[in-house]
Amino acid sequence: MPQMPAPATPPIGRLLLTGAAGTLGRVLRPRLKRWCTTLRLSDRGDLGAAADGEELQPAALEDRAAMRALLQGVDAVVHLGGISVEAAWAPIQAANITGVYHLYEAARLAGTRRIVFASSNHVVGFYRQHEVIDALAPPRPDTLYGVSKAFGENLSRMYFERYGIETVCLRIGSATPAPENRRMLATWLSFDDLERLVVASLTAPDAGHSIVYGLSDNVTRWWDNRLAAHIGYRPQDSSEPWRAELEAKQPAMAPDDPVRLYHGGVFVELGPYD
């Protein structure tokens, strides 16, 4: 259930949530409704029935006409849509490259002013776990998926510089109900902190173009959010209560195991798929 206090007056008019039928979309759907007058939901999957204050508008990201229709009348976007794991090049290109271009071009034409873009920690997956990095660290993607998210970050930067569309890029770690392994002691993002992160990104007075790492207040940290302090994200959960259980359940990995070496964990070994 939502943990943040509801605003007296929703600060956003029409908010679009793409990827609304996905795992995180289903988490955020009831939580975001309190922050807008109308919540427009889109996905290629089953969206169920519309609740009060909701609009259902399925669309494929690679369909330019559908995306232009989808953005009409939209004040802000939470973009979770697209491929969220490593895959073959063709679907990644269609959804995460062509699709994100269609989203931003449709936003420009519609006059949408802010987008919260679900990027990924896999943009920087080839940094080693002894390295603590901030938003200025050059991308070191670990997969085609990571490359596609780096593209989205760069495209959003261009749309901010040229057209003034503000974007907060969320380099999401591991958003799950509870941390599931040793790696997640560093990367875990609780669902409540996910809500806090997205709401802060939507409501920050001056977002500009920002990169924020999506993690809870974990003791083990590879990512430093000091350059995103203006967004106002304040995580309140931590992976620490699960440490003893996870360390007992999962044996220590060999020093040369990629899951122990790199931020991206097992992703550095995935693929190719074509």
Active site residues per annotation: 145
Amino acid letter for position 61: L
CA atoms within 13 A of residue 58's CA, in its CB half-sphere:
8
> Which residues make Cβ contacts (< 8 Å) with residue 262, sequence separation at least 6?
125, 126, 127, 128, 129, 142, 268
CA-nearest of 252, 260, 251, 217 to 129 is 260
Positions of E strands within 36-87: 36-42, 54-56, 76-79
Peptide bond into 58 cis (omega under 30): no
How far is CA 72 from its chain centroid? 22
> Which residues make Cβ contacts (< 8 Å) with residue 37, sequence separation at least 6?
10, 12, 13, 14, 53
Start-to-end CA span in the chain (Å) = 41
d(CA 137, CA 164): 24
DSSP one-letter code for 220: S
d(CA 48, CA 180): 29
Amino acid letter for position 119: S
